[in-house]
Structure 1
Amino acid sequence: MTTLVLLSDLVFKSNDKLDQRIRSLFNSEQPSIGYIPSCSDPERKYFEHTRRYYNQVGIDNIQYYDLDLEYEERTFGSIFECDAIHLSGGNTFYFLSLLQKRNVFGLLHSYVKSGGILIGVSAGSILTTPTIEIAGYGEDADENNVDLKDMRALGLVDFEFAPHWDGSEDTLNSLSKYTRVNRTAVYACQDGGGVVINDESVELYGNVRRLDYRESGSNHE
């Protein structure tokens, strides 16, 4: 059982169908979500934005778990008791370096394989894929300020994810070139859209395009 939600951004009142689908993934009437920021959020600015989003879809129990400056090994483990784990947006290279530093890869794998829901936004979505190489590609690429060498990510899916697609064919052409060079498949996703993986099924919401070096065409919904 693998349940993943890959979002480009958290946009309020943008896609009721997607919001309802996310809520439907939870069996509990009062589900809990553990939030992991891409770097410490001392003012809880981004956490608060995320909390309000989940409150809007009817989920009130959101807990903050830091892997960076406020990391506490003793208490971090309780995140795996939550119904879902949310990986935030931010700098993908820095976020991956934190996952490596805190040795949570295996724990996240076990969590998902045992039925836990993993929700990513932007960088968090990229982290569910085999590699974060795409985070360093294109005009709006993340800076690799931590000199990260190992780009391997969680590998929970067999494709890559390109958030914040501007809707242009130029960007799709650039991403198509990326798929050919790297022999991979990429889902390009506009803000407000998302990809939901539920076992073997891949559901597209909003403006999402699949680009695959093995296919001449592309699929979208």
Structure 2
Amino acid sequence: MTTLVLLSDLVFESNDKLDQRIRSLFDSEQPSIGYIPSSSDPERIYFEHTRRYYNQIGTDNIQYYDLDLEYEESTFGAIFECDAIHLSGGNTYYFLSLLQKRNVLGLLRSYVNSGGILIGVSAGSILMTPTIEIAGYGEDADENDVGLVDMKALGLVKFEFALHWDGSEDTLNSLREYTRINRTTVYACQDGGGVVIDGESVELYGNVRLVDYRESRSDHE
């Protein structure tokens, strides 16, 4: 059964229902979480922020697994024994290029298909979708500094994910155009909200809006 959590951002004063739902996904009283940064975090600044979040919801066993400068092939495989894997935020293009370089995409798919929980924040959430193209869309687009050509991501869900939605109708209209051009479906999510996939169910928490190309198409007809 597929179990995924897609978050726009990691906000401490966020959504109690969402936090409780994430905690309820674990069978273990003390689940282990493997953290993959989007790029090396030598000072562990972002890792510590994430660790504090999990501590707040009652989970203490968080381990750091680098795919970048500190990558160790011999020890990285242990992450797939964790109850959940956390994909951090950052530059989506760079993150995907690391997953491709280390041949981790297929391993992550197998992990989820075998019952592992995958939790993404920002870029990490986009990586669960079919493509990261939306990361280059809009005012706050990521820069493709690595010259990434293959935008195919994990494809664990059929929709795309728009981060840090400002709540405005203008942004939704822009996303409607995006879905119409790309014939896709997008969930726009404000910070503090998220989408939980539990088997066949899609659960929305916080301010999340569905933008579907079929509706956008009908607007133009």
TM-score strictly above 0.5? yes
| Deviation beyond 6 Å, 4+ runs, structure 1 | none
Cα distance in 2 between the residues matched to 1:180 and 1:124: 24
Q: Deviations over 1:120-155 (max 9, x none)?
A: 000000000000000000111000000000000000
Is the aligned partner of 1:162 residue 2:162? yes
Structure 1 residues 188-207: aligned runs within 5 Å: 188-207=188-207
Cα distance in 1 between the residues matched to 2:188 and 2:126: 11
- Give the equivalent residue in structure 2 for 1:123: 123
Is the aligned partner of 1:140 residue 2:154? no
3-state DSSP of counterpart to 1:62: strand
Cα distance in 1 between the residues matched to 2:26 and 2:144: 35
Say how many residue pairs are matched: 217
Amino acid at match of 2:69: L
Cα displacement (A) at 1:216: 5.5
Cα distance in 1 between the residues matched to 2:216 and 2:17: 29
Cα distance in 1 between the residues matched to 2:188 and 2:7: 11
Which structure 1 residue ranges, 5 or more long, are not aligned? none
Cα displacement (A) at 1:14: 1.4
Identical positions, percent? 87
Cα distance in 2 between the residues matched to 1:157 and 1:63: 26
Which structure 2 residue ranges, 5 or more long, are not aligned? none
Amino acid at match of 1:26: F
Cα distance in 1 between the residues matched to 2:92 and 2:123: 5
- Give the equivalent residue in structure 2 for 1:51: 51
Cα displacement (A) at 1:215: 2.7
Amino acid at match of 2:190: Q
Cα distance in 2 between the residues matched to 1:190 and 1:25: 22
The answer to whether the 8 A contact 2:179-2:216 is kept is no
Cα distance in 2 between the residues matched to 1:76 and 1:213: 39
- Give the equivalent residue in structure 2 for 1:31: 31
Cα distance in 2 between the residues matched to 1:29 and 1:17: 19
Cα distance in 1 between the residues matched to 2:192 and 2:76: 30
Q: Deviations over 1:52-101 (max 9, x none)?
A: 00000000000000000000000000000000000000000000000000
Is the aligned partner of 1:183 residue 2:175? no
TM-score normalized by structure 2? 0.97
Cα distance in 1 between the residues matched to 2:23 and 2:102: 30
Cα displacement (A) at 1:214: 1.4
